[in-house]
């Protein structure tokens, strides 16, 4: 049961005050997410489901803005470096997820949602394939709850592990993009580690997100569904356009820094809003078999990619 303040006006004052605080340079990404948890459990979210309406839009706008901090050669190098790791990790996770899901006798749609969410880009991948496989509402909510919970943990622990192993900025950016599910947590953890890590992580993660398209097409064949539509993440195209503008129009250098600062503030606000949506009701939907499946997949891809990068 949540311990929340009953006065709605006081809830709104605290909510808005903390949201404003999150867009200042005083707050890092993990702290922004932590403040969101604080609101969810101890203050109460006075706006109900309204934050959900803004989370994805705000995240996409923030990511597009981060494109103004990259040059084309940097993006191509990061994408080239992470390409092989992306392919290996995506298909390894999906195959292992299928095998473990069979062993645990987890519903096929649920195990597939967790596998795809871990393999590609968390909630976005789950949202893309769920109508294709005709997943039930409770299966979608369980998969999202598990992925969201593990994302939150990753945002807090990845930077510390990176420092423990003395990972370079490039190594950590790659590790984030491969090992953390959702783009929001990838960018949040990388921004905590450093600007160069943020550039690598954002580029590799968005390149990874494009795998939603071929995986969705393969999903249609695997689940024998021909009447579904594939959702294309168009905002990635705008991210690429931002990189091209920043590369070939030197006059834009004058706005690049403020745009990046605003984008980072937008990311922090996104993470705060994400944190406010977590409730005990959400956590109670998680049963042990799907959770163990998700942990096996997450540990496998995290430890495997870390071992590879650490020994480069």
Per-residue pLDDT tens over the stretch 120-145 = 888 888 888 888 888 887 888 888 88
For the segment 265-280, the average pLDDT, to the nearest whole number, is 87
The string of pLDDT tens digits covering residues 31-89 is 999 999 899 888 888 887 777 778 888 888 988 898 888 888 877 777 777 788 889 99
d(CA 28, CA 71): 25
Find the Cα–Cα–Cα–Cα dihedral 94, 236, 181, 275, rounded to 10°.
-150
Q: What pLDDT is recorded for position 3?
A: 57
Q: What pLDDT is recorded for position 71?
A: 86
Q: What pLDDT is recorded for position 228?
A: 61
d(CA 299, CA 312): 20
Q: Show Cβ contacts of residue 304 under 8 Å, excluding neighbours closer than 6 positions.
A: 89, 92
Q: What pLDDT is recorded for position 94?
A: 93
For the segment 254-279, the average pLDDT, to the nearest whole number, is 88
Percent of the chain scoring above 70 in pLDDT: 95
Q: At 1, is the pLDDT very low, low, confident or very high (cuts 50, 70, 90)?
A: very low
Q: At 253, is the pLDDT very low, low, confident or very high (cuts 50, 70, 90)?
A: confident
The string of pLDDT tens digits covering residues 169-216 is 999 999 999 999 888 899 999 999 999 999 999 999 988 888 888 888
For the segment 260-276, the average pLDDT, to the nearest whole number, is 90
Q: What pLDDT is recorded for position 17?
A: 95
Q: What pLDDT is recorded for position 216?
A: 84
d(CA 43, CA 64): 32
Segment 75-80 long-range contacts (CB within 8 Å, at least 24 positions apart): 75/199, 75/203, 75/240, 75/243, 78/170, 78/173, 78/174, 78/199, 78/200, 78/203, 78/204, 79/203, 79/204, 79/207
Domain boundaries, the chain: 53-310
CB burial of residue 163 (10 Å; 0-12, 13-18, 19+): exposed
d(CA 109, CA 133): 7
Q: Tokens 């993470």 sit at which residue?
A: 271
Q: What pLDDT is recorded for position 227?
A: 61
- Indicate whether 308 pLDDT > 80: yes
d(CA 173, CA 193): 8
**210 φ/ψ angles, rounded to the nearest 5 degrees:** -65, -20
Q: Show Cβ contacts of residue 89 under 8 Å, excluding neighbours closer than 6 positions.
A: 119, 178, 301, 304, 305
On average, the pLDDT of the chain sits at 87
pTM above 0.75, yes or no: yes
Handedness of CA 193, 197, 203, 206 (dihedral sign): negative
Q: Residue 170 is encoded by which pair of tokens?
A: 């490039």
- Indicate whether 99 pLDDT > 90: yes
């Amino acid at each position: 049961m949540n311990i929340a303040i009953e006065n709605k006006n006081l809830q709104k004052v605290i909510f808005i005050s903390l949201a404003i605080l999150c867009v200042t340079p005083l707050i890092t990404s993990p702290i922004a997410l932590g403040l969101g948890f604080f609101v969810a459990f101890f203050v109460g979210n006075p706006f109900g489901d309204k934050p959900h309406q803004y989370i994805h839009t705000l995240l996409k706008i923030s990511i597009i803005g981060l494109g103004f901090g990259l040059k084309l050669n940097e993006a191509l190098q990061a994408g080239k470096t992470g390409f092989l790791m992306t392919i290996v990790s995506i298909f390894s996770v999906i195959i292992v997820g299928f095998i473990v899901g069979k062993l645990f006798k987890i519903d096929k749609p649920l195990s597939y949602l967790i596998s795809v969410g871990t393999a590609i880009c968390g909630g976005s991948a789950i949202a893309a394939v769920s109508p294709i496989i005709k997943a039930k509402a409770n299966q979608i909510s369980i998969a999202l709850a598990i992925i969201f919970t593990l994302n939150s943990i990753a945002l807090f622990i990845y930077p510390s592990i990176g420092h423990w192993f003395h990972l370079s900025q490039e190594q950590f950016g790659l590790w984030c993009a491969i090992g953390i599910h959702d783009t929001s947590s990838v960018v949040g953890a990388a921004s905590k580690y450093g600007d160069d890590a943020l550039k690598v992580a954002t580029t590799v993660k968005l390149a990874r997100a494009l795998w939603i398209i071929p995986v969705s097409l393969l999903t249609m064949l695997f689940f024998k569904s021909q009447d579904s539509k594939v959702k294309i993440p168009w905002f990635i195209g705008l991210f690429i356009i931002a990189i091209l503008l920043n590369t070939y129009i030197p006059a834009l250098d004058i706005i690049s820094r403020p745009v990046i600062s605003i984008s980072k503030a937008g990311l922090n606000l996104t993470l705060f809003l994400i944190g406010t949506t977590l409730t005990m009701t959400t956590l109670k939907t998680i049963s042990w078999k799907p959770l163990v499946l998700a942990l096996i997949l997450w540990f496998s891809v995290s430890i495997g990619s870390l071992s590879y990068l650490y020994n480069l």
